[in-house]
Structure 1
Amino acid sequence: MSSIHLPIRQLVEFLLRTGSIDSRFTGFDRALEGARIHRKLQKAAGEDYQAEVFFSAERQAEGLTFLLEGRADGIFTDGSGTTVIDEIKTTAVPYEAITEDMNPCHWAQGMVYGAIYCSRQSLPELNVQLTYYQIDTDQIIRFMRRFSAPELEQFLHKLLCQYAPWARQQLDWAARRSQSLAALPFPFAQYRPGQRALAGEVYRACRAGRDADHKGGSRLFCQAPTGIGKTMSVLFPALRAMGEGSGEKLFYLTARNTTQAAAEDAIARLRTAAPELALRSVTLTAKEKVCLHPDSEGHPACLPELCPYANGYYDRIKDALSALLDDTGSFDRAALAGAAKRFSVCPFELGLDLSEWCDVVIGDYNYLFDPVVHLKRFFDASGDWLFLIDEAHNLPDRARAMYSARFFKSSLTEAKRALGKGKSSLRTALTRADRAFLDIRKACVRLAPRRGQTGAPETDTAQTTLLPSLQDPVPELPEPLYAQDGTVFLRELPSALLSPLRAVQAPLQDWLEANPDADAHAQLLELYFAVQDILRSSERYDSHFVTQLTARSSELELQLLCLDPAPFVEASLSAGRCAALFSATLTPPSYYRGVLGCADARAVALPSPFPAENLGLYCMANISTRYRDRETSVQAVSDALARLTSGKTGNYLAFFPSYAYLRQVYEDFATRHPDIRTLVQESGADDAARAEFLAQFVPQPKETLLGFGVLGGVFGEGVDLAGDRLIGCAIVGVGLPQVNPQQEMLRRYYDAQNGSGFDYAYRYPGMNKVLQAAGRVIRTPEDRGVVLLLDDRFARPDYARLFPPHWQHIRYLHSAEELGQALQDFWQK
Structure 2
Amino acid sequence: MNYSIAVRTLCEFTAKAGDLDLRFTPSPSAQQGIAGHGLVASRRDEGYEREIPLGGEYRHLEVRGRADGYDPARNQLEEVKTFRGDLAWMPANHRALHWAQVKIYGHLLCHSRGLSEVCLALVYFDIVSQRETLLRDTFSAQTLEEFFHEQCERFIAWADQEMAHRAARDSALNALGFPHAGFRTGQRPLAEAVYKAVGTGRCLMLQAPTGIGKTLGTLFPMLKALPRQHLDKLFFLAAKTPGRRLALEALATLVPEEADEPAPLRVLELVARDKACEHPDKACHGEACPLASGFYDRLPEARQAAVSHAMLDQAALRDVALAHGICPYYLGQELARWSDVVVGDYNYYFDLNAMLFGLTVANRWRVGVLVDEAHNLVERARRMYSAELDQAAFKAVRRTAPGPLKKPLDRLARQWRALDKSVEAAGVSSDYRVLDSLPTKLLGALHNAVAAITDYLTEQPAGLDAALQTFYFEAMHFCRVAELFDEHSLFDMTFKAGRRGATLSTLCLRNVVPAGFLTPRFEATRATVLFSATLSPSRYYGDLLGLPADTPWLEVESPFSAEQLSVRVVDKVSTRFHHRAASLAPIVELMAEQFAARPGNYLAFFSSFEYLEQVAALFRERCPAVPLWAQSRRMDEPSRQGFLAGFREGGQGIGFAVLGGVFGEGIDLPGERLIGAFIATLGLPQVNPVNEQFRQRLGVLFGDGYDYAYLYPGLQKVVQAAGRVIRTQEDRGVIHLIDDRFARPRVQRLLPNWWKNER
Pairing of 1:540-619 with structure 2 (within 5 A): 540-553=484-497, 554-598=503-547, 599-619=549-569
Give the equivalent residue in structure 2 for 1:479: none
- Please give the secondary structure, in 2, of the residue aligned with 1:639: helix
Give the equivalent residue in structure 2 for 1:811: 758
Give the equivalent residue in structure 1 for 2:157: 165
Structure 1 CA distance for aligned equivalents of residues 92 and 212 of structure 2: 61
| Structure 1 residues 571-599: Cα deviation after superposition (integer angstroms, max 9, x where no partner) | 11222211111111101111111111112
Q: Equivalent pairs: percent with the same residue?
A: 38
Q: Which stretch shifts more, 44-53 or 180-189?
A: 44-53
- Please give the secondary structure, in 1, of the residue aligned with 2:535: coil
Output the amino acid matched with 1:712: G
Structure 2 CA distance for aligned equivalents of residues 728 and 47 of structure 1: 77
Distance 1:42 1:786, change over 3 A: farther
* Equivalent of 2:410 in 431, 449, 452: 431
Does residue 640 of the first structure (1) align with residue 590 of the second (2)?
A: yes
Distance 1:106 1:198, change over 3 A: same
Give the equivalent residue in structure 1 for 2:622: 672
Distance 1:811 1:424, change over 3 A: same
* Equivalent of 2:714 in 756, 766, 781: 766
How many residues align structurally?
A: 750
Structure 1 CA distance for aligned equivalents of residues 317 and 92 of structure 2: 36
Pairing of 1:723-738 with structure 2 (within 5 A): 723-738=671-686
Give the equivalent residue in structure 2 for 1:7: 6
Give the equivalent residue in structure 1 for 2:67: 72
Q: Which stretch shifts more, 724-733 or 495-504?
A: 495-504
- Please give the secondary structure, in 1, of the residue aligned with 2:23: helix
| Contact 1:548-1:559 within 8 A present in 2 as well | yes
Does residue 499 of the first structure (1) align with residue 491 of the second (2)?
A: no
| Structure 1 residues 590-642: Cα deviation after superposition (integer angstroms, max 9, x where no partner) | 11111111122111001211121010101011112122322322222222222
Structure 1 CA distance for aligned equivalents of residues 285 and 391 of structure 2: 30
Does residue 708 of the first structure (1) align with residue 687 of the second (2)?
A: no
Structure 1 CA distance for aligned equivalents of residues 427 and 596 of structure 2: 51
Pairing of 1:240-639 with structure 2 (within 5 A): 240-272=224-256, 278-295=264-281, 301-325=283-307, 327-375=308-356, 376-380=358-362, 382-419=364-401, 424-447=403-426, 449-450=428-429, 485-509=430-454, 521-553=465-497, 554-598=503-547, 599-639=549-589
Cα offset for 1:348? 1.0
- Please give the secondary structure, in 2, of the residue aligned with 1:493: coil
Cα offset for 1:150? 4.2
Give the equivalent residue in structure 2 for 1:466: none
Structure 2 CA distance for aligned equivalents of residues 606 and 758 of structure 1: 28
Does residue 146 of the first structure (1) align with residue 138 of the second (2)?
A: yes
Structure 2 CA distance for aligned equivalents of residues 54 and 187 of structure 1: 49
Cα offset for 1:87? 2.2
Pairing of 1:81-100 with structure 2 (within 5 A): 81-91=73-83, 94-97=86-89
Cα offset for 1:444? 2.6
Distance 1:48 1:233, change over 3 A: farther
TM-score by structure 2 length?
0.93
Structure 1 CA distance for aligned equivalents of residues 27 and 315 of structure 2: 28
| Contact 1:25-1:91 within 8 A present in 2 as well | no
Q: Which stretch shifts more, 98-107 or 613-622?
A: 98-107
Structure 2 CA distance for aligned equivalents of residues 745 and 381 of structure 1: 41
- Please give the secondary structure, in 1, of the residue aligned with 2:635: coil
Output the amino acid matched with 2:215: T
- Please give the secondary structure, in 1, of the residue aligned with 2:365: coil
Structure 2 CA distance for aligned equivalents of residues 745 and 39 of structure 1: 41
Cα offset for 1:561? 1.6
| Structure 1 residues 777-811: Cα deviation after superposition (integer angstroms, max 9, x where no partner) | 0000000001110111111122111111102x201
Cα offset for 1:191? 1.6
* Equivalent of 2:108 in 116, 125, 128: 116
| Contact 1:222-1:581 within 8 A present in 2 as well | yes
Structure 2 CA distance for aligned equivalents of residues 331 and 34 of structure 1: 37
| Structure 1 residues 87-128: Cα deviation after superposition (integer angstroms, max 9, x where no partner) | 222335623445998512212222333333344444454433
Give the equivalent residue in structure 2 for 1:473: none
| Contact 1:206-1:386 within 8 A present in 2 as well | yes
Give the equivalent residue in structure 2 for 1:237: 221
Output the amino acid matched with 1:169: Q
Distance 1:726 1:448, change over 3 A: farther
Give the equivalent residue in structure 2 for 1:751: 699
| Contact 1:735-1:766 within 8 A present in 2 as well | yes
Distance 1:386 1:523, change over 3 A: same
Q: Which stretch shifts more, 341-350 or 386-395?
A: 341-350
Pairing of 1:170-185 with structure 2 (within 5 A): 170-185=162-177
Pairing of 1:779-790 with structure 2 (within 5 A): 779-790=727-738
Does residue 38 of the first structure (1) align with residue 36 of the second (2)?
A: yes
Cα offset for 1:43? 6.7
| Structure 1 residues 757-794: Cα deviation after superposition (integer angstroms, max 9, x where no partner) | 11111111111101100100000000000111011111
| Contact 1:444-1:487 within 8 A present in 2 as well | no
Cα offset for 1:647? 2.4
| Structure 1 residues 277-303: Cα deviation after superposition (integer angstroms, max 9, x where no partner) | 6111110111111111122xxxx6212
Cα offset for 1:756? 1.1
Distance 1:615 1:189, change over 3 A: same
* Equivalent of 2:51 in 43, 48, 53: 53
Cα offset for 1:673? 2.2
Cα offset for 1:316? 1.3
| Contact 2:573-2:738 within 8 A present in 1 as well | yes
Distance 1:664 1:73, change over 3 A: farther
Distance 1:52 1:346, change over 3 A: farther
Q: Which stretch shifts more, 545-554 or 382-391?
A: 545-554
TM-score by structure 1 length?
0.86
Give the equivalent residue in structure 2 for 1:458: none
Output the amino acid matched with 1:73: D
Distance 1:586 1:98, change over 3 A: closer
Gap runs ≥5 in structure 2? 498-502
Structure 1 CA distance for aligned equivalents of residues 286 and 85 of structure 2: 15
| Structure 1 residues 681-734: Cα deviation after superposition (integer angstroms, max 9, x where no partner) | 111111111111001110011xx3111111110000001011111100011121
Distance 1:49 1:671, change over 3 A: farther
Pairing of 1:167-246 with structure 2 (within 5 A): 167-209=159-201, 218-246=202-230
- Please give the secondary structure, in 1, of the residue aligned with 2:754: helix
Structure 2 CA distance for aligned equivalents of residues 406 and 745 of structure 1: 17
Distance 1:388 1:48, change over 3 A: farther
| Contact 1:383-1:577 within 8 A present in 2 as well | no
Output the amino acid matched with 2:423: C
Give the equivalent residue in structure 2 for 1:464: none
- Please give the secondary structure, in 1, of the residue aligned with 2:286: coil
Distance 1:693 1:101, change over 3 A: closer
Structure 2 CA distance for aligned equivalents of residues 45 and 700 of structure 1: 79
- Please give the secondary structure, in 2, of the residue aligned with 1:766: helix
- Please give the secondary structure, in 2, of the residue aligned with 1:806: coil
Structure 2 CA distance for aligned equivalents of residues 605 and 92 of structure 1: 53
| Contact 2:121-2:135 within 8 A present in 1 as well | yes
| Contact 2:370-2:530 within 8 A present in 1 as well | yes
Give the equivalent residue in structure 1 for 2:500: none
| Contact 1:515-1:521 within 8 A present in 2 as well | no
Cα offset for 1:137? 6.2
